[in-house]
């Protein structure tokens, strides 16, 4: 599926400081509707902080964030989520002492219960966890927890999903399963912004790449353009 | 509905009728024993509503109990209002106080909330001690000169039935699932669209209402109140202890914990009056070390109880057996 021509997310001049450390420094970019966009950069470049700013978990010191036509910087996270901007976290955060099904139903907060239940059964079938729906999440393997988290975030119709290292620590078989799942949902109208350090994978599945370095947008472009960009190579491998 | 479920549901009205008729057959200490059991179980259920379901451990719920006791003390003891009017007013006042208090206190998390609530309880006790004009300070209030066991017994039975009903609803509702998600991971819950502030405040208010009512009934039962007796930290500690013993964040946990606690405390109180407080401390250590998730968890692990939310089970069954309902799944996923 090709990306749309209008941005679903627009950030401008984002600034976030933690004491003396500037985590995000005047960052501005757009994510086009229906696209799969990668957000890459060395450790500490401000990727997760950018996610936190977009989803309301941190308030920017300066700058604006527009989701569709609504300004959302400073909004509460639950409001942003209910408007169709979902996220996952770097470390899988399922609700361990709740069952798989209960986890999914929490993801549908604010929607009608009966259709939420039907949707949960459908998603569990899609990720192959139907047999485990009454199992506590604490008893699942790491990979199964990743799948629960991925299904849970799609319990409500999402316009944009931010995935923070969805493939970290995941074996190649499950990685391909997750990719297939994401691509299927993308084909049905969800836009994705993905952070990951699996460069080959990101270059393969994304249409566009944003590169952050020291809180600034270093460059953006197609995977081919980014891979040959000298500034990107320098930020990852250092100057020689 | 299975035969087992029918038996279980059928047992509740039978127990209810037996409890309602008990004052016809029981008197003296035996009736007081059940009165105290209702009081303990009711307090455990109240505490469980916020602390058990959301994980916000409150060390200060005695504040609501004490305020409820003082409202009845002032209205009935000093101004001679009928206690049947004073007790609901005590609950209403506590409910009103709990909303802004919850909004303020629930900004704190973990140990800060626990200590903050402890400070609220201490501050409330101090106000009761110092505001002589209203509360008669350290002199206390003689609430009633008569012995009011039967009336209070029924009052506590009604409050207990209501708080159990509310807990059953919470445990089987999406509201309950949202509260549990807050306990498990508040940030993740918010990322799922849960308005955590609103849900926590609602749980906090529900959790404050019942100690207010129970405190009011206790004041009418005990006949004399002062700040030391109705703001005693032991009430808070006992609420925590009973809930943890039975199983926090569950429907049956506070019932099992409250009954077990009443039997143990009353037995020790009668036989070893000088050592019974020590037993409370020992009980805390034993629970935390050996059954941190309560008796309910042990029963579930042994297969004697199943984890099932009746409403969800019914819902899923109905969705699965109605193929056309699948059409309700939005096309996008």
Residue A132 lies in a domain: no
CA-closest candidate to residue B134, choices B78, B202, B212, B86: B78
Exposure string of A143-163, with b = 16+ CB inside 10 Å and e = fewer, is bbbbbbbbbbbbbbbbbbbbb
d(CA B94, CA B65): 9
Residue B265 lies in a domain: no
pLDDT recorded at residue B271 = 77
Residue A148 lies in a domain: no
Residue B283 lies in a domain: no
- Provide the number of structural domains found in chain A: 1
Residue A25 has φ and ψ, to the nearest 5°, of -125, 85
Q: Kindly give the confidence (pLDDT) of every residue in chain B, 333 residues in length, as a single tens digit, with 9 standing for 90 and above.
A: 555 555 566 677 788 888 888 888 887 888 999 999 999 999 999 999 999 999 999 999 999 999 999 999 999 999 999 999 999 999 999 999 999 999 999 999 999 999 999 999 999 999 999 999 999 988 999 988 777 789 999 999 999 999 999 999 999 889 999 999 999 999 999 999 999 999 999 999 999 999 999 999 999 999 999 999 999 998 998 999 999 999 999 999 999 999 998 888 888 777 777 777 777 778 778 888 888 889 988 888 888 877 667 667 777 877 777 754 444 444 433
B7 interface with A at CB cutoff 8 Å: no
Is residue A84 within 8 Å of residue A157, measured between CB atoms? yes
Per CB-CB distance under 8 Å, the chain A contacts of B195 are 76, 78
Minimal Cβ distance to A123: which of B183, B190, B333: B333
Going by C-beta distance under 8 Å and a sequence separation of 6 or more, which residues neighbour residue A163? A87, A88, A182, A192, A193, A194, A195, A196
CA-closest candidate to residue B191, choices A94, A166, A147: A94
In chain B, which residue's Cα lies nearest the Cα of A182?
B333
Structural domain that includes position A207: 7-94+158-237
Name the minimum distance, in Å, from the CA of A162 to any CA of chain B: 11
Number of residues that make up chain B: 333
A53 interface with B at CB cutoff 8 Å: no
Q: How many CB atoms lie within 10 A of CB A239?
A: 7
Minimal Cβ distance to B189: which of A106, A110, A188: A106
The DSSP code sequence of A9-36 is: EEEEEEEEEETTEEEEEEEEEEEETT-E
d(CA A24, CA B135): 56
Verify whether the Cβ–Cβ distance A98 to B177 is below 8 Å: yes
Residue A202 lies in a domain: yes
What value of ipTM does the predicted structure carry? 0.90
d(CA B18, CA B55): 34
- Provide the number of structural domains found in chain B: 1
Residue A81 lies in a domain: yes
Tell me the pLDDT tens digit for each residue of A127-141: 889 999 999 999 999
Q: Which region among A6-10, A184-188, B324-328 has the lowest average model confidence (pLDDT)?
A: B324-328
Per DSSP (E only), the strands in A182-227 are 191-195, 208-213, 216-221
In chain A, which residue's Cα lies nearest the Cα of B324?
A118
Residue A15 lies in a domain: yes
CA-closest candidate to residue A104, choices A87, A122, A92: A122
Minimal Cβ distance to B332: which of A98, A101, A188: A188
Q: How remote is the C-alpha of B139 from its chain's centroid?
A: 29
Tell me the two tokens of residue B161. Answer: 């039935």
B188, B292, B294, B320, best to mutate vs chain A, most A CBs in 10 Å: B188
CA-closest candidate to residue B200, choices B54, B95, B15, B40: B54
pLDDT recorded at residue B6 = 59
B324 interface with A at CB cutoff 8 Å: no
Number of residues that make up chain A: 240
Residue B78 lies in a domain: yes
Tell me the pLDDT tens digit for each residue of A221-234: 999 988 888 877 77
The DSSP code sequence of B156-181 is: HHHHHHHHHHHHHHHHTSHHHHHHHH
- Here the CATH number for the domain that contains residue A223 is 3.40.50.300
Residue B33 has φ and ψ, to the nearest 5°, of -55, -45
pLDDT recorded at residue B333 = 33
Structural domain that includes position B204: 15-232
Going by C-beta distance under 8 Å and a sequence separation of 6 or more, which residues neighbour residue A119? A108, A155, B328, B329, B330, B333
In chain A, which residue's Cα lies nearest the Cα of B186?
A95
Per CB-CB distance under 8 Å, the chain A contacts of B294 are none
Burial class for B293, CB neighbours closer than 10 Å (0-12, 13-18, 19+):
middle
d(CA A182, CA A37): 12
- Between B86 and A188, the higher pLDDT residue: B86
A1, A48, A77, A124, best to mutate vs chain B, most B CBs in 10 Å: A77
Q: If you average pLDDT over every residue of chain A, what do you get?
A: 90
pLDDT recorded at residue B150 = 92
Residue A51 lies in a domain: yes
pLDDT recorded at residue B5 = 57
Parallel, antiparallel, or unpaired: how do β-strands A36-40 and A208-213 relate? parallel
Residue A176 lies in a domain: yes
Of all residues in chain A, what percent carry a pLDDT higher than 70? 97
CA-closest candidate to residue A49, choices A11, A84, A6, A96: A11
d(CA A9, CA B170): 37
Name the minimum distance, in Å, from the CA of B195 to any CA of chain A: 6
Is residue A188 within 8 Å of residue A157, measured between CB atoms? no
A99 interface with B at CB cutoff 8 Å: yes
Residue A96 has φ and ψ, to the nearest 5°, of -65, -35
Name the minimum distance, in Å, from the CA of A83 to any CA of chain B: 9
Per CB-CB distance under 8 Å, the chain B contacts of A122 are 326, 329, 333
Is residue A16 within 8 Å of residue A49, measured between CB atoms? yes
Residue B4 lies in a domain: no
Tell me the pLDDT tens digit for each residue of A95-152: 999 999 999 999 888 778 888 999 999 999 988 899 999 999 999 998 899 999 999 9
Exposure string of B44-73, with b = 16+ CB inside 10 Å and e = fewer, is bbbbbbbbbbbbbbbbbbbbbbbbbbbbbb
Per CB-CB distance under 8 Å, the chain A contacts of B187 are 57, 77, 89, 93
Per CB-CB distance under 8 Å, the chain A contacts of B325 are 114, 118
Minimal Cβ distance to B181: which of A95, A153, A189: A95
Give the number of beta-carbon pairs within 8 Å between A and B: 116
A110 interface with B at CB cutoff 8 Å: yes
């Amino acid at each position: 599926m090709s990306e749309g021509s209008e941005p679903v997310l627009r950030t401008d001049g984002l600034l976030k400081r933690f004491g003396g450390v500037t985590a995000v420094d005047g960052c501005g970019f757009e994510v086009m509707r229906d696209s799969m966009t990668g957000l890459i950069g060395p450790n500490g470049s401000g990727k997760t902080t950018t996610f936190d700013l977009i989803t309301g978990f941190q308030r920017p010191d300066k700058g604006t964030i527009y989701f569709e036509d609504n300004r959302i910087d400073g909004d509460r996270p639950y409001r942003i989520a209910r408007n169709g901007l979902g996220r996952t976290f770097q470390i899988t955060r399922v609700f361990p002492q709740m069952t798989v099904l209960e986890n999914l139903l929490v993801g549908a907060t604010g929607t009608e219960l009966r259709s939420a239940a039907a949707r949960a059964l459908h998603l569990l079938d899609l990720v192959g966890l139907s047999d485990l729906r009454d199992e506590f999440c604490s008893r699942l393997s790491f990979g199964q927890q990743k799948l629960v988290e991925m299904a849970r975030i799609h319990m409500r119709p999402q316009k944009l999903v931010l995935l923070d290292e969805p493939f970290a620590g995941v074996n190649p078989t499950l990685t391909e399963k997750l990719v297939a799942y994401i691509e299927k949902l993308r084909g049905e109208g969800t836009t994705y912004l993905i952070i990951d350090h699996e460069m080959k994978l990101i270059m393969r599945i994304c249409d566009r790449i944003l590169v952050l370095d020291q809180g600034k947008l270093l460059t953006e472009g197609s995977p081919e353009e980014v891979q040959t960009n000298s500034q990107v190579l320098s930020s990852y491998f250092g100057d020689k | 509905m299975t035969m087992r479920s029918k038996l279980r549901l059928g047992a509740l009205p039978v127990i209810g009728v037996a409890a309602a008729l008990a004052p016809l057959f029981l008197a003296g200490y035996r009736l007081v024993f059940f009165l105290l059991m209702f009081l303990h179980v009711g307090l455990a259920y109240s505490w469980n509503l916020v602390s058990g379901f959301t994980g916000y451990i409150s060390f200060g719920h005695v504040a609501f109990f004490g305020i409820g006791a003082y409202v009845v003390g002032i209205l009935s003891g000093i101004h001679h209002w009928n206690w049947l009017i004073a007790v609901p007013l005590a609950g209403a006042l506590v409910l009103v106080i709990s909303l802004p208090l919850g909004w303020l206190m629930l900004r704190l998390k973990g140990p800060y909330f626990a200590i903050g609530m402890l400070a609220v309880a201490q501050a409330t006790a101090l106000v009761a001690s110092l505001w002589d004009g209203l509360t008669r300070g350290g002199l206390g209030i003689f609430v009633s000169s008569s012995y009011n066991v039967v009336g209070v017994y029924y009052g506590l039975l009604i409050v207990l039935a209501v708080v159990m009903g509310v807990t059953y609803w919470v445990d089987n509702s999406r509201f309950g699932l949202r509260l549990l998600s807050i306990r498990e991971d508040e940030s993740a819950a918010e990322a799922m669209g849960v308005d955590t502030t609103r849900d926590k405040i609602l749980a906090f208010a529900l959790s404050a209402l019942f100690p207010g009512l129970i405190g009011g009934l206790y004041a009418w039962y005990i006949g004399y109140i002062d700040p030391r007796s109705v703001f005693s930290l032991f009430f808070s500690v006992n609420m925590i202890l009973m809930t943890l013993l039975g199983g926090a964040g569950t429907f049956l946990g506070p019932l099992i914990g409250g009954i077990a606690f009443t039997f143990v405390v009353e037995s020790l109180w009668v036989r070893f009056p000088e050592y019974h407080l020590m037993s409370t401390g020992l009980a805390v250590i034993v629970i935390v070390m050996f059954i941190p998730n309560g008796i309910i968890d042990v029963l579930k692990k042994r297969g004697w109880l199943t984890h099932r939310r009746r409403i969800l089970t019914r819902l899923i069954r109905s969705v699965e057996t109605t193929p056309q309902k699948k059409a309700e799944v939005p096309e996008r996923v």
